[in-house]
Amino acid sequence: MYKHFISFIVVCFSVIVMATSNYSVYTVSAADGYKGPLDLTATKNGSTIYIAHFDADEIAVFHTAENKIVQTIPVGNEPTGTVLSPDEKTLYVTSGGYRGLVQAVDLTAGKIIREALAGHTPMGAAITPDGKKIFVCNRFQNDVAEYDLPELKLVRRINVIREPRGAVVTKDGKTVYVANAVPNDVANIPEDPDASIDVAAEVSAIDVGSGTVKNIRLPNGSGSIHGICISPDGRYVYLSEILARFQMPTTQLERGWMNTNGITIIDTTQLDSKRSGFVNTVLLDDVDLGAANPWGITTSADGKQLFIAVAGTSELIIVDTEAMHKKLASLPQDDPNEEATGYTGGRNASEKAGDVPNDLAFLVGMKKRVRLNGKGARPIVAVGNDVYVGMYYSDTLQKVDLTAPGNLKGTEIALGVKPDLTKERRGEIYWNDATLCFQYWQSCASCHPDGRMDAYNWDLLNDGLGNPKNAKSLLWCDKCPPAMWEGVRKTSAHCTRTGFQFILFSMPDETKCLDIDAYIHAMQPVTSPYLVDGKLSERAERGKKIFENPKIGCATCHPAPLFTDQKLHDVNTKCYYDRKGSFDTPTLVETWRTAPYLHDGRYTNMKDLFKKGKHGDVEGDIESLTEEQLDDLIEYVLSL
């Protein structure tokens, strides 16, 4: 049978690009007419919702009584999130990419009164209950910045795991829980075919007083965490995530064979316990209908209901939290001496706590699924008996009245003039649309968020069964054929069409495929966090000379400007399950973002790639480099 596999990748990109837009997949300007609601924050009395319009570079002030926008406030480039001060006089906004900002907006004056530099792509800010501190997640800097308020004075930066996207503060203000969206694990153990592979995202719990971090590991396959919230009483932290079944060959989709979608629960009162407060992961899918790509998550004011915006299927899911917790508490814990049970595609019923992440029927009778109009259900906020969901691609709000008789449905509220969609925008919508997939289990974005990769090894059928490989980033894959690690597809366009057939298990629509091609071709590299003011550091400049030295040989297989010769090479990386030893040479652009490395993701950092993997010794003489020279070379590669 299949042993546990997983991982990531190094792949498709190009020369250093100083992009001003670092969170977008491709260039979008306010002139395109898109709004792009990415975050919603409501006042305590529910009279006002502040909407971060990512594509329009503004904050919209929405009055719920009138169901309309009454004011817009221009802010920094691409606002990613908002959070209100406890007195509700100031709105703090995170924005920008490589040179990110956190801005203080005086809501009475309707203008920015203060701002401070953040990190690379700030988002997911959280304020302590006393209003004295704000914590900002810097997604591509892998840290959380702590500021004193109201001065916005930077106190310190606290390192976390990988791509932090959201944070919440406990009611006592002592702990910040941070959602790291992407796993940072070895994807394969080449020397041990019987080894169990565990790849999972983690939650970082930061002690506000000391700044120390305790990481809470989630179940194997956890990743793509987009939402985090805390219950009103401060006891539970909830996260929305994908639970990938990367251990299985991609032969079918029924019963969540490849990807399932759920929520993870953490008990903040149990942080010092053996499980660090991890309660369980509960699936949102039905047995025969996926709930792909859960995004925003929040609770009702009394904590009795949990609301999840499901981006891939454009839905609102409502969960009875009291019933869910009661059922979870009734299950016995697993026997530590008993061998773990593998994924079965969804059990009929959970007999113990460890069965729950595999139980597609666990929430039967405890959840409602509400179909919404529009595409891209991402941010969510609850206001009294109403739930508002921002439809990112439709530039609308969906308002769901929880007290309405009969089946719940959304009322659409336009946030601006409906824009004409470009081919690239339509392609992005299809890329994120799980309704194009058999039974809605996943979208293209499930394995390739933002067109990149999800951190797992997948056993795709295009190169035979039983040889899983890293999911590749698709950035500039049209410029770097052939596609796939063994070069089995001549073009990225071919991959799009076969991806519909053999991964989404649906027939490709050529019109949609052409739009997806346009979206993929328009992708731009994100500016590397290793650059200094947009330029190579002194160390990277020295590394560039080493890279280009014919004796060292890096540029032989990775020549500029694409940093790939687009050929297959055998560099002694064949693993126990590989049938061939030659693999496609990936471009090195955005290498800083695509660990773990090699076709099977066996190294989480480049130092191990060179020192343990002896990478570069086939075509060059990497071993002749001193430790300092190797560090210079790595700095350069990570700057691309």
Q: Which residues pair with 310 in a beta bridge?
A: 294, 315
Say if 572 falls within a structural domain.
yes
Side chain identity at residue 260, one-letter code: T
Q: What mean pLDDT comes out for the span 624-629?
A: 94
Average pLDDT over residues 525-533: 95
pLDDT, position 504? 96
List, in order, residues 6 or more apart from 143 with CB less than 8 Å away: 119, 157, 158, 159, 160, 164
Say if residue 210's pLDDT is above 50: yes
Asked whether residue 190 carries a pLDDT value surpassing 80, the answer given is no
Structural domains of the chain, count: 1
Task: Report yes or no on 566 lying in a domain.
Answer: yes
For 255-271, how does the pLDDT look when each residue is reduced to its tens digit (9 = 90+)? 999 999 999 999 999 99
Which H or E run contains 157?
A: strand 153-159
Mean pLDDT for the stretch of residues 600-623: 88
Q: Please give the average per-residue pLDDT across 203-216, as a whole number.
A: 97
Check: CB of residue 118 under 8 Å from CB of residue 95: no
d(CA 369, CA 27): 34
Q: Which parts of 12-152 are beta strand (E)?
A: 37-42, 48-53, 58-63, 68-74, 79-84, 90-95, 101-106, 111-117, 122-127, 133-138, 143-148
pLDDT at 5: 33
pLDDT of residue 344: 45
In sequence order, which residues have a C-beta less than 8 Å from that of residue 263 and are 6 or more positions away?
A: 238, 239, 240, 241, 281, 282, 284, 294, 297, 306, 308, 319
Q: What is the pLDDT of residue 136?
A: 98
Is there a domain that residue 591 lies in?
Answer: yes
CA 237 from chain center: how many Å?
18
Q: Give the count of alpha carbons within 13 A of 298, CB side only.
A: 20
For position 376, what pLDDT does the model report?
Answer: 97
Which pLDDT score, from 0 to 100, does residue 577 have? 87
Give the mean model confidence (pLDDT) for residues 138-157. 97
- The verdict on residue 299 lying in a domain is no
Rounded CA separation 514/510 (Å): 6
pLDDT(323) > 60:
yes
The answer to whether residue 125 is domain-embedded is no
Stretch 65-71: mean pLDDT: 96
- What is the DSSP pairing of strand 175-180 with strand 202-207? antiparallel
Whether the CB-CB separation of 195 and 254 falls below 8 Å is answered with no
Contact present, 184 and 223 (Cβ < 8 Å) = no
20, with CB counted inside 10 A (0-12, 13-18, 19+), is middle
Q: pLDDT band at residue 220, thresholds of 50, 70 and 90?
A: very high
**Residue 43: its pLDDT value, please?**
98
State the alpha helices, DSSP H only, in 435-576.
Answer: 444-447, 492-502, 510-521, 538-548, 554-557
pLDDT of 203: 98
pLDDT number for residue 194: 79
Q: What's the pLDDT tens digit per position in 74-112?
A: 998 999 999 999 999 999 999 999 999 999 999 999 999
**pLDDT score, position 488:** 86
The answer to whether position 616 is within a domain reads: yes
Average pLDDT of 389-406? 96
- Provide the domain limits for residue 542: 538-639
CB atoms near residue 111 (< 10 Å): 11
Q: Assign 14 a pLDDT band (cuts: 50, 70, 90).
A: very low
| Model pTM above 0.85 | yes
> Nearest CA to 292 among 310, 307, 318?
310
Residue 352, in any domain of the structure: no
Domain membership of residue 407 (yes or no) is no
Instruction: Indicate the pLDDT class of residue 7, thresholds 50, 70 and 90.
Output: very low
Take residue 618 and report the two structure tokens written for it. Answer: 């086939």
- pLDDT-derived band at 192 (thresholds 50, 70, 90) equals confident
Spatial CB neighbours of 611, under 8 Å, sequence gap ≥ 6: 630
Mean of pLDDT values over 543-564 = 94
Residues 499-513: what's their mean pLDDT?
94
User: Quick check: 229 and 297 in contact, CB under 8 A?
Assistant: yes
* 412 phi, psi to nearest 5 deg: -85, 135
Q: What is the model's pLDDT at position 620?
A: 79
- Which domain CATH number covers 617? 1.10.760.10
Average pLDDT taken over every residue of the chain: 91
pLDDT at residue 32, as a whole number:
78
Residue-wise pLDDT for 555-583, tens only, equals 999 999 999 999 999 998 998 888 899 98
